[in-house]
Amino acid sequence: MLRSINKYKLYLYLFFLIFLSSIFNFKFLENYQDMFILKNININGVSYKEKKYIEEELYKLKNTNIFKITENKVLDILTKFNFIDSIYVNKVIPSSININISKTDILAKTFINGEVFYIGKNGKFINSHQIFEQYKTATVFGEFEIKEFLNLYNILNNQKLEIGNIEQYYYFKNRRWDLVFSNKLVLKLPSKNKSDSIKIYKQLLNNDNLTNIKIVDLRVINQIIMTNINE
C-alpha cells in the first residue's frame, strides 16, 4: 500500500512539473515573439513634415513581426511618394527599421487638370500636395510627356545653358518648344536638331547679337529670324 501511495505522489509531482514548465514555456515563447514586433521606424533624408507624412503610411507595419516585413513591402508602400528618388531599407533586430531616403531634384512645375504638379528629375510628376517646401522654378505649359521635357532639359544642361534664367517653357503638339527667359526674350526651337539650335543661340548670346531682340526664331533649319523689341 505504501509503495502505491509513493507511486501516486510521483505521478502528481510529474504532472505539476510538466504543467508549470508548460506555462513557463508558453510565457517565454510569448515574450520571445513580442521581442521581434516592429516598434520603431526611423526615417532620414526628408523634412519634418515629409517624415510625418510618410510615417502615416508606414504605420500599418507597426506591431508586425519584423521578420515578416520585407524590403519590397516597404517599397510598395512608399511608391506613392513621387518625390522620392531612392530608398535604402535596413532592419535593425529586434524591433526597428531604418529608412534612408534620397529626394529627387525639382526641375519645373506644370498644371494637370487644374492642379499644380512638379516635374522631378526622376521622371515623375509630383503632386504639389506632397511637397512641403517652396520651390522657385520655371513653369511648363502644354500637354507633354515627361520624357519630352527631360530630353529638352538634358540638351540644355549638356550645352551649359543657364537653365535658371528660363521662366517658362511652352510645348506644342509637333514636339516643338518655346523658351521664355527672365529678360523676356523668346527662343523658338525646332522639333528636331534642338542641340544644334541651342549652339547657335549660345553663339548669338556670346557675341552680344541679342541686344534689343525679343524673339529668336530657329524653327527653320539654316535660318535665324530675329524680331526687334520695337517691332
Give the count of beta carbons closer than 10 Å to the beta carbon of residue 74: 17
Residue with cell 512641403: 132
Quick one: 77 and 29 in the same domain?
Answer: no
In a domain, 120, yes or no: no
Separation CA 201–CA 90 (nearest Å): 49
CATH number at residue 190: 3.40.50.11690
In a domain, 122, yes or no: no
Cell numbers standing for residue 51: 517624415
What are the average pLDDT values for consecutive 10-residue runs of the chain, which has 231 residues?
A: 49 50 47 73 92 90 87 91 94 91 96 96 95 90 96 95 95 95 95 92 83 91 86 66
| pLDDT score recorded for residue 5 | 46
Q: Which domain holds residue 215?
A: 138-228
Residue with cell 541679342: 210
Quick one: 17 and 31 in the same domain?
Answer: yes
Cell numbers standing for residue 25: 514555456
Quick one: 145 and 223 in the same domain?
Answer: yes
Quick one: 207 and 146 in the same domain?
Answer: yes
Question: Max CA-CA distance within the chain?
Answer: 128
β-strands 115-120, 125-127: how paired?
antiparallel
Burial (Cβ within 10 Å: 0-12, 13-18, ≥19) of residue 22: exposed
Separation CA 39–CA 139 (nearest Å): 43
Quick one: 149 and 199 in the same domain?
Answer: yes
CATH number at residue 79: 3.10.20.310
In a domain, 26, yes or no: yes
| pLDDT score recorded for residue 18 | 52
What's the domain count of the chain? 3
Cβ(224)–Cβ(216) below 8 Å: yes
Q: C-alpha distances in angstroms, 19 versus 7, 13, 225?
A: 18, 10, 96
- Burial code of 76-105, b = ≥16 C-beta within 10 A, e = fewer? eebeebbbbbebebebeeeeebebebebbe
Quick one: 223 and 155 in the same domain?
Answer: yes
| pLDDT score recorded for residue 205 | 86
Separation CA 181–CA 204 (nearest Å): 15
